[in-house]
Structure 1
Amino acid sequence: MASYDQLPVAIDEAALGVDLLAQLGADDDAALQQMLREISAHEAELAANYAMPSSSSAPPAASVGNPLLAAHHDDDLINALMASPAAIAEPAKKKPTKKQEKIDLASAEAFPTLGAPQAAPKSVFSSWSNRTTLAQTTGKSTANASVSAAHKFSESVTVDVDDVVPVLVANPDQMSKALREVARKSETTISMTKRTGALVFMVSGKTRAKVEAGAKLVLPAVCPKITLSVTIPASARGLIVGSGGATIKGLQDRTATKIDFPRAARAGDAAASDESAADTGATSPEPEAAVRDDESDDSDADDEETDVLYALARRVPIEEDEPSIAVTITGAKHGVHLARDEILSIVGPRAAVAKAKIGTDLFPTTLYPFLRGVRNARVHDLEAQWGVKIHVPPTSSTDENSVIVLAGDMADVRAARERLVDVRLQLEQSTTSADVTIEKRKHRFLVGADGAHLAELMEKTGCVLDIPAANDALTSVTVRGPSATIGEALALTLAKANAVSVAELDLVPHCAGRDASLAPILARYLAVKDRAQLAAIESAHGAEIMVPRDTASTVVEIVAKSLDAANNVKAQLQAHISGKGLFLATVVPIPSEVHRHGAVKAAIATARDALPESAEIATVSLKADSDLADELAVVMWDPVALAATKKGKKPAQAAIAAANAALKTHADAILAVAKDAAEIAVEVLEAPRAVHKYILGAKGASLKAIHAAAHAAGGEVPLTIALGKPESADQVLIRGLKSEVKVAANKIKAIVNAAAAAAEQPTITKEFDISSKYSAHIIGKGGVHMARFMDQIGVQKVEVGNATPGAATVKVTIQGTASAAKDIEKQIREKVANLEDQTTTTLAVPADRANT
C-alpha cells in the first residue's frame, strides 16, 4: 500500500480548511460540523489506500493524522488549521514500499470536493487571480496572528484542467517538480487542490511582491506555450513600445509573455505578404462546418457548389487602411490573450487595419436579416467569436453597394471570409419561405414603428418578412425562416394585418380646382404646421393618422382598432381641413439656407397683414424631398374661395383665380426679398476619398479651421461643407454665401493639389536621435501626437524607437516625401527644445496639507 509521504503533491489540509471556512463562516457551528463529517469520510477513504507516515509529532490515532479531526471546538480547530504547513516541499526520504500507484489529478474519487456542492470556479482565463491576504481569506483576526510569521500573503490561481500541459495532468511527479521549481524561484510555498474541471494553486509567502511573482510563474510552468500574431498599423509600433521601452516591458511583466516585432519593420512588408496570401488563396485553416458533411442524393453536386463558394471567399480582396506589421506574442494561453487585448486597446480604433467587402454573390441579401438576428444580437455574437467587426447593411436591398464589410486584424478578416460561407450554408439548409396575400395598404402595419413588429416576429419565431416596396404593385408578402416555425410566423403575420382597420381621406378635393399636384404640399403642411392638432385627434380616439410622405400619394390613412373608430377620426380630420378654407399653394426657388432668414420672415408677415382676416398664408420647406431642397412652398387658405365653390362652377373659378393672383403677388415679393437677403453659391469639388482625411484632419481639426476661416463673419446664412457628397464619395459639396464658399473652396483645392503633388514625389526615410526622456511627450497620450503627424500630407510613417535600458537617446524614423519628413523633423526638434527649456521642481508636501 502506498504511503501518504509518497504523494508527489502534498494534500494541503489546512489550506482546504481555510478555504472552507471562508465559504461557510467560522462562526457557523452546524456548517463546521458538516465539514468535519465530510473530511472524516474523505480521510477514511484515503486511509484505506495509503498508510499514514510515522512521526513522533503525529496526532493520536483517533484523529487519523488530521489536525482537523483532532480539534472539535472552534478555537482549537482554527489554531490547528493555522499551524498546519501549506506547502509543496521536497519529498522526504522514503522507505522501500510497494510499486507506487499513479494518481489521476482529475479524478473526483481521489480528490473529492469538500464541503457543500460548489459551482464551477471562475477560470483564470477570465481573471488573472484572486488577490487577498490570508487573514482576509479566513475572516478571523486570530488567524492573521497565527500565520503572519510564515505566510502573511497569499494568492490563488485557477486553471481549467483542459488548459494544463497534458503530461503534467497525467504525471503528478512532473507536476510537483514544476511547482517546486516555481516555489524555489519566487521564494514562496505552493499548494494545489482540485475542483470540478479546474486546478487551484495557492501561492503563499512573506511579502506581496514574492507572492505576485510566484503567481505569475504558475501559468508558464503548467500551461503549454502558444504563439499568437496580431496585426497592427506600422505607425502604432511606438505606442506599444513606449518611452524607453516602458510600455512593452510592463506589458510583458504583467502577462508573463514575450512580445516580438519583426526585425526589419519595413512598412510594406506586412502589406505585401498579405496581398500575396490573398492572391494565392492562402488562408487560415478552414473552420469546421457541419454542412460540409451533409449526406444526400445530390451530395457530389452540393460539395462542388460548396467548394466554389469557399474558393470565391478566398478570392475576396482584403484592403488595408495603412501599412501594417505583425506583432508576435508567446507565452501561456491566458497571458497571450491578455497581452493581445491590451495591445489592441493601446492601438485603439486604428487597430482595424484590414477590410473585406463581401458581395451579394457570396452572401445573398435575403439572408441579411438572419445574419443580423434580433436587434443585431447574432452579428454581435459572431463579432465576439471571430474577432472582427461586421457591418451588415440595414435593409435587404439589391443595391450593388449593399455589401457586408469585415474589419479587423488581417488574419481574422481572412478567416472570417470563409466563416461567412459556413453561416450561409447553415442558413440555406435550415430556412424555407411561404407567400401570403395581404392588402397593400396594410403592409406598413406589418413593419410597426421603427420596425417593432418585424423585431417581435424575429424574436418569437426566428422569421422575417419580405415586404414589397410601396411603389410596387405586388400584394404578396414573403415569410422566411426555420421550417419548424414558418407556420406560426404566417399566423402571426395574418393576425397583425387583421388587427387594424383603415379609413382613407383623399386630399385632392380640398385643393383649389382639385389640383392633384397640390395634395403632396397639403400633406407636408399637415405634417409640419398642423402636427399638434393631428396629435390631439389621435389621442382622443386612440387612432393613428398617417400622412403620406411620398409625393406621388394623395391619401391620408387613418388606422384604428375598428372601422367605426377609423371613420370617426376621418370625419374629424376632414372638418379640421375644411374649416381652414380652400388650399392654394405655389413653389418659389429659394435656397434652403435662406428659408429661415429674418428678411424672409418679415416678408411673410407683410403678406399676412395684407390678406383678409379669415385668410391665412404661410411657407413650408420641402426638404423632405431631396429634389425640392432649394424650393419653398408659399401656401394660402382662403375660406371665401371655398364658399364660392358651393355656389356653382363660374363663381368657383372666379374666386380661385382671384386667390391665385393674390398668392402669386405675395410669393413674388417673398422671392425678391430672399434674393436680396443673400447670394447663395453651391460648388462641388472633385477630391479623391483618400484625400478626405487631410481635409478632415485629426479629430476634424482641419475642417473646423477651414470652416472658421471662411465663416468668420458669422451671420444668419450657414456654411455647409460635406465630404463624399452630393453624388460621389470622391466629391466635396460646399454651400453658403458666395464669398464664404470661395474661401472654403480655395483652401480645400490647395489640400487636394498638395496631396496630388506628394503622391508624385519619391519617398525617403529620415532618422535622427532625441533624448529618451522626451520620447513619451513626442508620442503623446494614447499616441495623439503621432496621429497628428500621420494626418499631414506626404507622411507615410512616424515611429519613435525602443530605447535599450540605460540608453540616453531613442531613434525617430520618418518615411514620406522629403518636404514632409523635413517638416515633421522640425516639429519634433522644436518640441524637444521647448521641453529642455522647461524646469520641473518637486516639492514635498505633508499629506494633511495636500488639499489646501
Structure 2
Amino acid sequence: MTSNESLDTLSPAAKLALLHAQAANPPAQQAEQDSFVPSPDDPVVLIDNSSYEPLIAGDFPTPIGKPVYKPAPKKEPNSKNLDLTSESAFPSLSASPRPLVSNAWSSAAASRVKDPQALSASSRPMAPASGSLKKKSGATQVTDVLGLPASQQIANMSTTPLGFNSSNVIQKVIQETGTNIIASTNRSGTTSFVIQGSPADVARAKRELIAGLVIKITEDITVPANTRRFIIGAKGANLKQIEAKSNTRINFPRKEDEEFIHNDEDSEEVVIVNIVGDAQGIRIAKEEIQKIVGEKAAKQTIKIENLDSKYYLFLAGPQNSNIKKLDEEFNVKIHIPAVIVDGNTNRVTAISITGDKEKVQLAKQALEKAYANIEKTSRTVAISIPKRQHKYLYGKNGETLKEILAESNCTVELPPLDDPSENVTIRGPDADLVKGLTVVMEKARAVHVSVLDLTESYKSSGKDALQHARAALQYLLVKNSIKKIESDHNVQVGVPQSDELKKAVNLEFVSKIEKDAALAQLAVSNIVRELTPDVFGSVEIESYLHQYILSSQRAAIDRIQSVNNVTVAVPDERENSATILLIYGGDDKAAAKASLDNASAALKKIAADSSDYISKSTSIPVEFHDALRGPKGTTLNAIIGESNATIRFGPNEKVEVRGLTQDVNQVMTSLQKAFDAAQQDEFAKPFSVEFFIPANFSAHIIGKAGIHINKLKDDLGVKIDIGESNKSEEKPVSAKKDKKNAAPVKVVIQGPKINVEAAKDRINSQISNLADQVTLSLKVPKAFHRFLIGPSGRYVKKLEDKYNVFIKFPKSGNRGDESPSSPSPNNPDEITVRGGKRDAQSAKEELMELYEYEKEEQEKKKEREQKHKEYEEKRAAEDKRRADERAAREVRKAAEEAAREARKAAEEAAREARKVEKEAAAAAIKQ
C-alpha cells in the first residue's frame, strides 16, 4: 500500500499522529505490509456500525502510553502540496491546547470501541523518542499504524466475555513491549493504533494487540492419529510452544486408551484438532502443526512378533553392536525389549523398528535374515546348576547373561522360577559351546551363596519356631537391618517370598568373596539371638484399619513405641492379615511383658476410637472392573465423588470400600448405580447434558488459565464447554452494569453418563459454595496486624485452613513473602475475610478474639513496662541518693583529714617555735 493510500484509509486523528512522526524523520525505505495484520477476508461478526460515535469527541487521538515530546520540526516540506511544518494545519501533539483524554479506554468507552480487522501497516523510521520508550540506546525507531474495524473487535460482540476490558489489553501490550501506542476511533467504529518503538517491539505490539482485541474464530484441521503424540510433545511441551507462538488455544479430542504407542504405519486413523484464535494466529498454528506432521508422517513404527525371544541376545550382539550397525546402515531405530524377567526367557515380546517407511522394511528384512542365520547355526547343551544360583547367574537386568555372550558368543536360557528343574541351557555356534560352558561354570562358581534358616534359632522354644522366625524377619525388615548389613559387608541378601514363608524362613547371602557372606550371616545371627520369644507380642486389629491408623494416628503410634520401648510392625497389605506384630527392644527382659501389654492396649484403644472408619464389600464380576475404573481411573473418581473413601478391586469378584461411615454408604450407592449402568452398556453410549450457571461465577469455575475446569476434565474424563449466555434470556447489558445481572452462561458436558452427572454435580456444588460467599470486614489498629498474621503468616494461614476462608490485610501488613493488596486504601486498619457465611463469621470472631487478647496483653505489657520504669526511676533515685551520701561522706572525710593534717602541722609548728624559744633563752642565759 502506498503512502497516499495509507493516509486515505486512516481516520483524521491517526493521520495526524502518523504525519507528525513522518515529519520528525524523513521517510526512508517503505516497509512491507505486516503479515500479522488481519486480512479483510478474515471471518468477522456482522455488526451495524452506522450508530457508532467516535471514541473521542472531535476525532482527536488518544495516547494510551506516555506522550512522546519532540521539538517542532524544521520546515522541510516532503510533499508538493503539504506543509508539515505548519503549526496551524498540524498543531504539535506535545503542545496541543486540548487536554489529553487519559481515560478514553475506560470500561464505558471500551463498550463502544470494537475489535479488529486489517488495515495496512506502513512503517517509517523515526527519530529516537524521549526516555518514555523502553529501548536500547541507538536502536532504530519506527512508526506503524494498525487499523481494527468495529466488526472484528471483541468489545463489539453482543456478549462481551466476562471481565474483558480493551484498555487493560492495550496497557498490558505497552508494558510488555515498551512501545508507545496512540488510539483513536472514527465515526464508523474503526479504531486506529499508531505504534512507536523499535521494529521488533512494534511488530510484537501489533501481534499482541490483534491477539488481545480481535474476535476469536475456530477452525478444525485433521492430522494422522500417529502424529498426535509428536505434536503434543513430552508433557505438552511442543503444544505449549505452538500456542505461545501463535497466541491460540489448541484442543485435541480426548483419547480413551492409554498412550498412542505402536501405531501401525498403514493406520489411516485421523484426529480432529480444534484451533481457537485470530486468523493470523490460526495460520501460524496450522503451519507449525503441519511442519511436525510432515516430518513424522513419513515415518512409521512396525512390530515384529514372529521371532523367538531366546535369540534376542544374538540379534542384539555384545553391547548391542549388531543393532547399532543396523541403525546406522538404515537410519532407523530398532528396539529389542528386555527378555529377562524373573528368569522367564520364554516370554513373548515384540521388536519395534521406527524410521522412514522404506528404510524400516529394509531393516526388517535384514533383521529376519540375521535371525534365520542364527537359528540355523546355533546348537544347545544343558548343565545342572543349583536352583538358588539361577537368579544370580543372569544378574541384574540380565547383565551377567550379556557378559557371557560377550565372552563366549553363547547365551544362557534359565527355567522359570516356578519350574523345579535345575538344568540350564547354553545356546550358541558349535565351535563356541565348550567355551560357553566354561564361562557359565566360572560365573556360577564366582558367586558364593550361603543360607541361614532363622527357624533353627527358635526350634528349642517349641512348636512356634516358624512363627517366631517370621516375626524376627519382619523386625529385620522394619528396622532396615538387612539393607545395612548388605551395605556394610558388600553382599546381597535374598529374602523369601510370602509363599515360601509357609515352609521356612531362609535368608540367602550372596557375594563374590566367601568371607563377606559369612560375616553378613554372622551379623544377622547376632541380631536374631537377641530376639528371644519373650520379646514378641501381637495385637489383632482389622486389616482395613491398618493404613488408616498409620496415617491418621502417626504421632500416637510414635508415642506408644517410645514410651513402651517397642517396635510396631504392620503386615503387608497384600497379606490381608489382622495381626500387628510388637517387638520389645529394651535391655530389661523382665519388663518385656508389661511393655507389650501396654502397647497392645493402647493400639486397641486407637482402633476403638476409629470405629467410624469402616469397610464394606460387594461382589462384582471381574469383567466389569475395568469399566468401573474407567480410562485413567476417571469413572472411579466419579463414583467416589468428593468423599475421602477408597475403593479396592480384589483379584476375584470382591470390591471393597473403605472410609468413614457416611462416605462409604454414599460410595456403595454410587458403585451399585455404576455397576447397573455398566451391565446395560451405558458407558459406551455418548451422553451430553446442558445447563446454565450464573455469569458472575463462570470465571471462578474456569479458574486462572483454566486450571479448575481442566482439573475437572482430567479427573472425570469428560469434555466441558462453557459457552455464551442464554440468548433466549439475554437482554442488552451496558458495560457499567453489574456482572451479577448478566445473562446465565451455558455449560455443555459430554462423556459417559455417570462421569457427566458427577461433573455437573461438582460444578453445581461449587456454584452453591460461591453463592454462599460473603466478604466481611473488621477494623483492627494497624499496630496489631503483625500479631494476627504471625511469623511468616503462620497464624493467619492456620485460620484460613481451619475455616476455608481468605483473609486479606492491608498492603502495609507484613505477611511473610506475601504482599496482599490493601482491601481499603483509605483505611489501613481494615481487614477483610472472604468465605462461606458461617465460616467467614467464625473466622472474623476468632480474629476479634485474638485482637482483644493481644490488646489486653499489650495493655498488661505497658503496665509492666510502666512499673518497671517506675522501679528503675526509683532505683536510680536511690542510687543517686546513696551516691550523694557517699560523696558527702568522702567530702567530710577529706575535710576531717585535712583538719587533722592542719592540726598536726600547727602542733609541729608550735613545737618548733617552742624549741626555738628555748634555744634562744638558753643562749641568752649563757651570755
Q: TM-score range, shorter-chain basis?
A: 0.3 to 0.5
Q: Which has the higher contact order (CA 8 A, sep 6+)?
A: 1
TM-score (structure 2 length as normaliser): 0.36
Asked which structure has the greater CA Rg, the reply is: 2
